[in-house]
Structure 1
């Protein structure tokens, strides 16, 4: 097929697909969030087992893959398909030619060696051997195509001026695909998204997804009037940055402080793997008494921090707005010790470079709405959260979660951590600005028991931390407040509102009526023992033992020990001062001897000699004091030993 014909067919097919996408699924409503997001709802007319195609700007594809919801009461969702992030690169990975080869006929022909071609006026097809360059008499270079004919003969024809047609249908298709991708790549700013549906009959289907949008703003006008009155006007300012016109649509503005998460779902991410070297060692017999390797595997389901955001105030609609279509067919699930497996129910045909999104499972889960306050995070307000219970048959892997309300629509994003079956997890998605929490922490510590035996004193300590939570409820509605604080290892948590701990966190559940302020106490206590040798204990600590001892005899013995240890330590301090003076005198005497050697006979020499004599007298006196101090210390050490032996 001639190249010109291929280009024409490709461009016609591109025009047709673009027109289909533009007319299928116009925007019906837009909800703008002050969190910088727009919830877009499109409406499409479909029939039996149909497909919806929409054109989406490339910078919105990640958000669409994250948040798309199909509302189809008479059908189910099968799949979502679109080209990958780099269709040009991916297409040419498995082609014999490169993009630049398509700009030069000699380069293209040389890259498809072995392909069947036909020459104008020839009945037989020939096989391409390659393209070479022949120099003419005027030094001009002419590309020549070398061919192998069915009878085994070889020939060479000029590329320029010859009419050459590709006779291989597969090669024609490859060139056609490549030209189409190149044509799209020159303006690669959108993706055509195909959404497959099951179901029978003609009907309207809604598509809803959340994408980035400019934050809408508010401005106010205040006009003061007579008698202390005034007129206040509030205005909204927002932009349409969706990439297409909004024609006769409904606009809703939503205020609050939503957490807005994003993830590169349209990009390809590869997991790093450890390389196992090929074992080339020789095999040896196991020696008697050989060891055994122990394998350990950590559980994959663990808790992680939760997101925070604010819920907006929106009027409640009478009819449910999010009757989300069910999954056409669920994946088959199975669970091992540390993994969950999802087997897709249908076989898929996925072209090179395409992206496919398919549903896995659908479960009804228990979800209690609470206001969650975590002590370690601090802050004035709790977060709005859903307390989820995974009562399905499979543990769920971690992932990003888009939260909808069945009446007001999109309310925020959250993160589900690895979620074992049978467990409960709180996912937070908003700041509850109507509830405030303040805390007062009162730590105390005391010695509850003292026991002395064999020169050792054992002390039982009790530490207690009382935390008082003051919770001011919402003015307009009752709240269930879930208070969490980190569990201290070895401690006991007590509160009249305590519930089962989770993820190494102590928890309380408090119901706060509208307009009511509640004070709640939580006490964390822990006990531990400490053993110290009496011979080395500080007197101040012994005095503390005296104050905590309930036995008069033990109290008296401890007092005698404290006195003996005080005298012993005072004597030790006196000895330390003598030793310091002695060492300083020895050093001064050393300096004097060095100076004496460097001066001639005379007055200065005599002065140094007198200093040496005085220092000798001082050292003699310090030696006597040191001896006396050492005897005193030995005396008091004996007193300490006697005091200890009395226990």
Structure 2
């Protein structure tokens, strides 16, 4: 590869936690591979000294990813260990100390926490003795003053105010050293944003090795420029936009951009997890015998490996050989099974935090200008689009496309999804207001055949959803119009001049001359086999089946059955109406009867008696009508059953 140095203009991005100064001693970055999955593989060169070790400083938020992915390329040695400070150094430091990190910042609290420690006080009084504790006593104007209770060597306990005139020295030098170390750890905790990772190797001699690891990074983006031309050709440029968010400057670094949809996982490997254990009670006052599994011979304990200096006994097992990684193909574009790698030419100087854009592709491609109308859109006008045929030999990542006409200049923007090599995509960039489309839907239901068996009718029907498109072309130029309809699983699509369907839409192609009006028709078809009980079938459906019966006898019987079912349903409807009227009148008569019982003899009582008589006459008429309707129901119900039995 020919190395060229390039400097790019910087752009403002979010500030990074990691500092360039921290990363400067890690060994130079050799190459980076930025993935569209939001990760970057960093390869850096490191010098191995006589300790057979190399150290790198990394931001704390990258430690989990480095523990997951770090590999070392070393043909003269093997990796033995990776050592770094724990996730919570302050917590680990103070876990075994009698005081907390907060106690260090206040002398009274610290002295109270180290009761029983021998100290020496100097100032107005010089006393040496054992700390008994510290209490707060009231002072003037509501204030308090800390008082140290101390037991001198003389044995007479005394208290000393802890003010600015008193100096305290801890006599126990070991404890004083632990306090000093803890204070350093607590001081560093406020800036605990990084870890030093020390990698131990075996092998002999000073040498250089390559260290690779994968950490989070901003995803890289793709922007396209297209200039349309004549004869269905266009010039396509693809540009990559990416950021250096590594926390350090890149100098003379090889950059590769990887597209695709990789599986990217993360795990908190730097955290500590403790397994829950079952607690068993202590048995007291009983003759407890050892459990059977406790009587087994203890397994030999594994030998401990020394991490100091990354040494180890000669008898220890060898670590696995370093992972060998396939090198990047020298070709600018490497089309693989599921991804495409774009190895940028030359090498790059990129400051930490900079955004850069570099060209990936500059080729002539097949590109047809079309108008696309998608059924279900809110507009009567189609969209102007470029039908891009990816014959570049490499899969194009998804991105934003700016479209220029070779005569008019800028004509619109579009989004394109990922385009595998050899496939086509439509990039919609504007509304074609010179072309209009009107849609009319006509559902059709056709009975193809029927068969009657054991009181059941088996019908084969064809359902067609027909769409008629009334098209009006542009007045000043010819158009190629694509009409797209959403696919329907289980349906067959039928049209005149079929276009190439997409994964989600059926498509037809229509040529429109300038100013031409045209009608085209498409249909979704489906054949269904349906079964119905003749005794429950709708009369109109039965009569429609009669028009397509298999033979004259079947058609005749279906018509008779349809007429009988229709009269039966009419009689049932009439009976329901009569019964409702009867129930309402019976309720009214019950109210009249109750009123009659409640009134004394007289004119009102006489009126209620006359009203009851009228209601009784009306009920008698309804009972007669109800009986007649029931007779009709029985007659036509029997007729329906007889026809069904004789099929």
Into which bin does the TM-score normalised by the smaller protein fall?
Answer: 0.3 to 0.5
The TM-score normalised by the length of structure 2 is: 0.46
- Which one has a bigger Cα radius of gyration? 2
